[in-house]
A = this chain, B = another copy of it.
Amino acid sequence: MGTFKNKFEARTPKTRRHPMSAELENIDLYVEYWNAANYLSAAQFYLKENPLLRVPLKSEHLKPRIRGHWGSAPGLNLIYVQLNRLIQKTNSQFLFITGPGHCSSAILANLYLEGTYTEFYPEITQDIDGLTLFCRQFSSPGGVPSHVSAMTPGSIHEGGELGYSLLHAFGAAFDHPELIVAAVVSDGEAETGPLAASWQSINFLNPSRDGAVLPFFHVNDGKLSGPTLFGRMEDQDIALYFSGLGYEPFFVCGSDPYKVHTELAQVLDKAYLAIRQIQNEAKEKRLKGKPKWPIIIFRTPDGWTGPKEVDGVRIEGTYRSHRSPLMDVRENPEHLKILESWLKSYHPEKLFDEKGKLREDLQALAPKGTLRMGSNPYANGGGLLVDLALPDFTEYRVPVKQPGSSFSEPTHVLGKYIRDVMRRNPNNFRLFCPDETDSNRLSAVFEVTNRCFVSKTYPEDDHLSPDGRVMEILSEHCCQGWLEGYLLSGGHGLLVSYEAFAMILDSMASQHAKWLKLYREIPWRKPIASLNYLLSSHVWRQEYDGYTHQGPGFIDTLINKKGHVIRIYLPADTNTLLAVMDHCLRSRNYINLVIAEKQPSLDWLDMNEARAHCARGASLWSWASNDRGNPDIILGCAGDVPTLETVAASWLLQKHFPELKVRVVNVVDLMTLSPPAYHPHGMDDINFINLFSASQPVLFAFHGYPRMVHDLVHGRPNPGRFHVRGYQEEGTTTTSFDMVILNKMSRYNLAIDAIKYALKGIPHLRSKAEELIGFFEQKIVEHSTFVRTHLDDMPEIKNWTWSNPAAEQ
């Protein structure tokens, strides 16, 4: 072992190989087309002029900054070219997912050759001038990035952060029965957690309803600076691994281009037939159990066809091909020679005509129209998007005769609305959830659908079937990845999770926000449905689960993203939640975050008030205030539990301290607090002063970490008067009220602090103020003792409702 040939040839077990045959026509032409793709993939790294080497290569033709990733490019090109052949043969719709990161030069090369790139970017013409621009722009300032991005036609997957290619592929296949998603997964990416989990996605792919995913596991044994784990596994072990997962593995391995082209063509034909057979059997209801979907293990050398050796060090077939194999070509004449002979080894002079256009017989190898993978309509899903048929959300309202006198379970009520959304939209809406749909009280959806499960079921299972539209897997990564793929290919959806574990998605959500930011700027990208999060079982309600389940940090992640991409809603009650969710489901190109309670909670607003409140984003709640336009203290709040404690604090103050003028302001759309320059929802200073005055102290109770509100009010008049309470990382398995005590945000803490901050303005009331502070401090002690003795909250907390505080005095 150890020599190149051995590494890629000898270890292919014969039983898994498909015999050579003479079936394939035009093999020479496909290899030539591949050479053209390889040539352009490399040329983009280096050339700012002389793109077809019509004159001898000189230093001045080279870019000042050499950038590019070569390792997986030739393999990707070969797969792309052979898929073109299959598409031509079968007239099938294929979507291409580029798992290997940074290999966009390969994809761009293919898009250019098939003509789609010129259609989307007419300045990149099919001639020498176009080719010059095409090469210049790659990884250059003001140009195109080194990985596939929203700017790349035919793409829904960026591949900058690795791990999500297969998830995006499955998401795009859901509900698109005519589509086959060809997903190239690299052996580097396969080491990540999300990718390792995503092989299980076949347990959720229904062959009679969904499209197919054809994974290409591209094992070239090279990542950034070493070999890969799968690269050093025997074929036999890889076969066992995928067989155990339920796939039928096909191997294509080698380093002889003609042989690999031929074998992949043959294997692709077989895999295609296997897919169609599974789908036909499923449609005819002849399929028993989970089908064995094909997977292609594609083992070719890292940096294949690149320089074999540079300065006596092996390059081709090692991780050293990962980036550009030659870096100092501008300064090192010997390396420049190697570069020139490498590029010339593809014989560009034979592949392109005089004008610089691909030879006509080669052009004929690419599919036509929207069958070209760069023009796949599912890669621009906004074009396929159908507006949801939404029920009238006001019909799900809870009656609210007076504020704070009745209880309802917000997400339970919302569940009925979501149920009817799912009923009315049976083909383009799904709910994604890490095993918590019931726990988050959305169980009503199971009146109209099931949990999707394409594996063994038993009669006693609860709403489990292949036709389900609730996608439950205990992996936040899978839920997010599937949903992203589903949205980008034209679907609608909702991701429901425990609040704390949304932080598992911090990075994925950030990457989707980055994608959306670019997406919105590209004229040919059609608006897609927003990515909607509903987080429940939140930080303040962890009676069961405790400290590990308390984490409001997802807000902090989203809020840093571009203002025109993110929206954050903290509805305080059931009717407000309904109004917010309706708004989110109608929106486009956003990430909407909604955080809501699942436990029985007081209702504050009737539906008319809730709608008006949501339209404003933040309102003065006059029924909870006694300030008559002139508050001594303003109690701001955002989030359901903070609102409860704030209103109760106002009630306590009005009851015990009627001389103090208290105003309650509730914020449902968090970004209204932001200056308008930072977020389009930000209110102007006039409205801000109308709510929060220009000078009076504000005690703000916030759902999450307090620091965020400090930032949001930065730049407003007198920001130092804002005193924020929120989650201080104090928690355990305890009652909800004990949680607000521990974090100093209880009604008693708020009442004490409100008096302290107001005192400067009402010095004549000092003695009463001090007496009351003592009274409320005593209440806190009393509570802490009671809850630890009786293992439960005091009845005065559990049974508290709003009533006229003046009458209570």
Give the shortest distance, in Å, between A735 (CB) and chain B (any CB): 6
Q: Which of B143, B232, B461 contacts A227 (CB 8 A)?
A: B461
Q: Which A-B residue pairs are the 5 nearest by beta carbons?
A: A160-B548, A241-B244, A193-B193, A240-B244, A196-B196
Copy number of this protein in the oligomer?
2
B residues in contact with A161, CB < 8 Å: 500-501, 504, 548-549
Distance, CA A543 to CA B67, complexed state (A): 8
B residues in contact with A242, CB < 8 Å: 244
Cβ A475 vs Cβ B191 within 8 A: yes
**5 CB < 8 A contacts A-B:** A64-B791, A162-B474, A225-B439, A226-B464, A229-B473
Cβ A435 vs Cβ B225 within 8 A: yes
In the complex, whether A197 has a CB less than 8 A from a CB of chain B is yes
B residues in contact with A176, CB < 8 Å: none
B residues in contact with A232, CB < 8 Å: 453, 455-457
Distance, CA A140 to CA B707, complexed state (A): 30
- Closest Cβ neighbor of A704 among chain B residues: B560
Give the shortest distance, in Å, between A321 (CB) and chain B (any CB): 12
In the complex, whether A19 has a CB less than 8 A from a CB of chain B is no
Give the shortest distance, in Å, between A229 (CB) and chain B (any CB): 5
Interface string of A220-249 (1 = CB under 8 A from B): 000111111100110001111111111000
B residues in contact with A768, CB < 8 Å: none
Cβ A146 vs Cβ B545 within 8 A: yes
A: contact size bracket: 35 or more
Interface string of A1-13 (1 = CB under 8 A from B): 1100001000000
Distance, CA A83 to CA B544, complexed state (A): 29
Q: Which of B141, B241, B455 contacts A240 (CB 8 A)?
A: B241
Task: Tell me the chain A residues, 529-566 only, with Cβ under 8 Å from chain B.
Answer: 543-549, 551, 553, 556-557, 559-562
In the complex, whether A787 has a CB less than 8 A from a CB of chain B is yes
Distance, CA A734 to CA B65, complexed state (A): 10
B residues in contact with A439, CB < 8 Å: 224-225
- Given A461-B227, A735-B141: A546 in contact with B714 (beta carbons within 8 A): no
Distance, CA A790 to CA B140, complexed state (A): 10
Task: Tell me the chain A residues, 460-487 only, with Cβ under 8 Å from chain B.
Answer: 460-462, 464, 472-478
Cβ B546 vs Cβ A160 within 8 A: yes
In the complex, whether A372 has a CB less than 8 A from a CB of chain B is no
Give the shortest distance, in Å, between A691 (CB) and chain B (any CB): 19
Give the shortest distance, in Å, between A439 (CB) and chain B (any CB): 6
In the complex, whether A583 has a CB less than 8 A from a CB of chain B is no
Give the shortest distance, in Å, between A170 (CB) and chain B (any CB): 14
Q: Which of B244, B437, B438, B473 contacts A191 (CB 8 A)?
A: B473
B residues in contact with A464, CB < 8 Å: 226-227
Cβ B146 vs Cβ A506 within 8 A: no
Task: Tell me the chain A residues, 120-158 only, with Cβ under 8 Å from chain B.
Answer: 136, 139-147, 149, 158
Cβ A544 vs Cβ B67 within 8 A: yes
- Given A237-B244, A507-B501: A548 in contact with B225 (beta carbons within 8 A): no
Cβ A511 vs Cβ B560 within 8 A: no
Distance, CA A431 to CA B250, complexed state (A): 37
In the complex, whether A705 has a CB less than 8 A from a CB of chain B is yes
Interface string of A722-739 (1 = CB under 8 A from B): 100000010011110010
In the complex, whether A451 has a CB less than 8 A from a CB of chain B is yes
- Closest Cβ neighbor of A167 among chain B residues: B193
- Given A65-B543, A244-B237, A562-B729: A197 in contact with B203 (beta carbons within 8 A): no
Give the shortest distance, in Å, between A15 (CB) and chain B (any CB): 15
In the complex, whether A314 has a CB less than 8 A from a CB of chain B is yes
Q: Which of B455, B510, B720 contacts A551 (CB 8 A)?
A: B510
In the complex, whether A381 has a CB less than 8 A from a CB of chain B is no
Distance, CA A735 to CA B319, complexed state (A): 26
In the complex, whether A307 has a CB less than 8 A from a CB of chain B is no
Distance, CA A705 to CA B232, complexed state (A): 41
Known: A141-B734, A149-B547. 17 other contacts (CB 8 A): A65-B735, A146-B544, A146-B733, A158-B548, A193-B197, A193-B478, A200-B229, A224-B474, A226-B453, A232-B453, A233-B246, A237-B246, A240-B240, A241-B241, A506-B557, A514-B729, A719-B719
Cβ A141 vs Cβ B436 within 8 A: no
A65, A141, A223, A714 — which one has the most chain B CB atoms within 10 A of its CB?
A141
Distance, CA A557 to CA B560, complexed state (A): 11
Cβ B196 vs Cβ A546 within 8 A: no
- Closest Cβ neighbor of A204 among chain B residues: B229
